[in-house]
């Protein structure tokens, strides 16, 4: 008897979005299959994005603690470790992630098909396997979770051994003395702090007036200051004209007439959805110039039984959001009438130190003519910050002066991406549950970084009373 290649749900991609869609379908007794074009599951998140870069960051952060801690100075001089050595810590984490996620598929009877998927029609996919054989899979519904890849302009030679993007930088086999990073978005800023922490000279080229303009202005300024304090040369309002690479190094020609020289170039200027090989024309779909697909609030494309989730639909392009998007798409697929559309995710940026925020910024509130007051707590003034040496940064709460409703929370400093969820939980409370007074009427462990909420709340109330 032949193999049954008919499924309730076919999922293209095994990253966070695809994995969660397949698992949600399987948990509700739907027959699901996942098509993955890498030899191992996990998608770009596990193999080229979040997991390896954050593991690398952790290693560099440990190195910085060693090189700056007074205790460690008693047992040895400051150290520099090669980039490949720091990166090697990611290998074990990736292996554990792949092993864990592979078990998800086996445990839930989700079929995994390795190969490249392309549409034949709205219910049929051709999967070209690594051995060259093409198989056909049929599904009632299809979820596109194919992810994204770094954008590569045609006039930059990414085959040159000195030119990298945010994927190939994980293959770098030496430690450059000076690294040029073009593009100061989230990924560019994260790698600027990582390489600077390794003792590499870094020039970060930003096309805009400020770093990460979507952040609260005060946090953006703090990041700019801290990167410069780490030795990063930040250049604002610059655009590239051309890239010249040779055996001796890389020259980045800017439209302003500057010529920047380095040992290597890391290109971090945008991403492209992985849709160009899906044969979307066969089902009447088309991606935009960034390779992204448009979806409705149910994650359906213009073809109702074809869904798209994760990086391939653009904002927010976060693993955290992708998990929720995949679950929602699978829920709609099985007929659930109301599901969550992800539009209120917290920001998490893994620079050293990290940044995280939820809710409105000062600029957004001011532009909307919404009155607000500010409460601040500086980590250098907290006992835990002083004990741990993690005394860079602050917690900032924006709130309504009349009702004390919390409007936004912004954090810059150690463990910011963890700390933010305390405030997020209070902001999610219905009715009068979302109020600044929670932080004053609740006893926090001492000493903790979370205590910064109490300090910031008291600081904000003091502003109201003069």
Q: Where in the chain is the domain with CATH 3.50.50.60?
A: 6-51+87-150+272-333, 163-269
In this predicted model, what pLDDT tens digit does every residue of 316-364 receive, in sequence order? 999 999 999 999 999 999 998 888 999 889 999 999 999 999 999 999 9
Give me the CATH code for the 353-465 domain, please: 3.30.390.30
pLDDT for res 466: 66
> By CB neighbour count within 10 A (0-12 exposed, 13-18 middle, 19+ buried), where does 17 fall?
buried
pLDDT for res 65: 83
Give me the CATH code for the 6-51+87-150+272-333 domain, please: 3.50.50.60
Can the peptide bond before residue 166 be classed as cis, meaning omega within 30 degrees of 0?
Answer: no
Can the peptide bond before residue 447 be classed as cis, meaning omega within 30 degrees of 0?
Answer: yes
pLDDT for res 72: 66
Q: Which of 358, 437, 368, 367 is nearest to 403 (CA)?
A: 437
* Beta carbons of 303 and 344 less than 8 angstroms apart: no
Measured from the Cβ of residue 57, the count of other Cβ atoms closer than 10 Å reads 21
Q: What span, in angstroms and rounded, lies between the C-alpha atoms of 21 and 334?
A: 11
* Beta carbons of 147 and 20 less than 8 angstroms apart: no
pLDDT for res 80: 79
* Chain center to CA of 177: 27
Q: Where in the chain is the domain with CATH 3.30.390.30?
A: 353-465
From the first residue on, what is the mean pLDDT of each consecutive set of 10 residues in the chain (466 residues)?
A: 81 97 97 97 94 94 81 68 90 95 96 97 97 96 97 95 96 95 97 96 97 95 95 97 96 98 97 97 96 97 97 94 96 90 93 96 97 96 91 95 96 96 94 90 92 96 88
Measured from the Cβ of residue 453, the count of other Cβ atoms closer than 10 Å reads 26
Can the peptide bond before residue 356 be classed as cis, meaning omega within 30 degrees of 0?
Answer: no
In this predicted model, what pLDDT tens digit does every residue of 138-184 receive, in sequence order? 999 999 999 999 999 999 999 999 999 999 999 999 999 999 999 99
pLDDT for res 1: 34
Give me the CATH code for the 163-269 domain, please: 3.50.50.60
pLDDT for res 2: 43
Q: What span, in angstroms and rounded, lies between the C-alpha atoms of 423 and 408?
A: 9
β-pairing verdict for 116-121 and 124-128:
antiparallel
């Amino acid at each position: 008897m032949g193999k049954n290649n008919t499924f309730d749900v076919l999922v293209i991609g095994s990253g966070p979005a695809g994995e969660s869609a397949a698992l949600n379908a399987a948990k509700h007794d739907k027959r699901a299959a996942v098509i993955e074009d890498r030899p191992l599951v996990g998608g770009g998140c596990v193999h080229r994005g979040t997991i390896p870069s954050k593991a690398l960051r952790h290693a560099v952060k440990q190195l910085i603690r060693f090189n700056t801690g007074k205790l460690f100075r008693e047992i040895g001089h400051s150290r520099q470790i090669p980039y490949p050595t720091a990166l090697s810590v990611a290998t074990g984490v990736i292996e554990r992630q792949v092993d864990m996620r592979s078990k998800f598929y086996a445990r839930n009877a989700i079929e995994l098909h390795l190969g490249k998927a392309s549409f034949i029609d709205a219910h049929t996919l051709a999967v070209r396997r690594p051995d060259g054989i093409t198989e056909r899979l049929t599904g009632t519904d299809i979820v596109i979770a194919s992810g994204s890849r770094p954008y590569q302009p045609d006039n930059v030679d990414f085959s040159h051994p000195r030119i990298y993007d945010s994927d190939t930088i994980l293959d770098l086999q030496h430690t450059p003395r000076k690294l040029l990073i073009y593009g100061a978005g989230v990924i560019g800023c994260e790698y600027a702090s990582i390489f600077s922490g390794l003792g590499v000279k870094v020039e970060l080229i930003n096309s805009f007036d400020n770093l990460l303009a979507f952040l609260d202005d005060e946090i953006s300024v703090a990041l700019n200051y801290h990167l410069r304090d780490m030795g990063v040369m930040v250049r604002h309002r610059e655009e590239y004209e051309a890239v010249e690479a040779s055996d001796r190094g890389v020259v980045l020609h800017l439209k302003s007439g500057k010529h920047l020289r380095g040992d290597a170039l890391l290109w971090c200027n945008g991403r492209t959805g992985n849709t160009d090989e899906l044969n979307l024309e066969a089902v009447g779909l088309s991606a935009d110039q960034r390779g992204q697909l448009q979806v409705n609030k149910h994650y359906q494309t213009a073809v109702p039984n074809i869904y798209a989730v994760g990086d391939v639909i653009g904002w927010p392009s976060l693993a955290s959001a992708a998990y929720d998007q995949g679950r929602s798409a699978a829920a709609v697929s099985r007929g659930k009438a109301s599901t969550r559309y992800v539009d209120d995710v917290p920001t998490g940026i893994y620079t050293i130190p990290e940044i995280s925020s939820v809710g409105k910024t000062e600029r957004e509130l001011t532009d909307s003519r919404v009155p607000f007051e500010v409460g601040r707590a500086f980590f250098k003034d907290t006992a835990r910050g002083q004990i741990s040496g993690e005394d860079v940064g602050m917690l900032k709460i924006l709130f309504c002066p009349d009702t004390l409703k919390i409007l936004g929370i912004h954090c810059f400093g150690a463990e910011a991406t963890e700390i933010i969820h305390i405030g997020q939980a209070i902001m999610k409370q219905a009715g009068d549950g979302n109020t600044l007074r929670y932080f004053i009427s609740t006893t926090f462990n001492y000493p903790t970084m979370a205590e910064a909420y109490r300090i910031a709340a008291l600081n904000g109330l003091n502003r109201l009373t003069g």
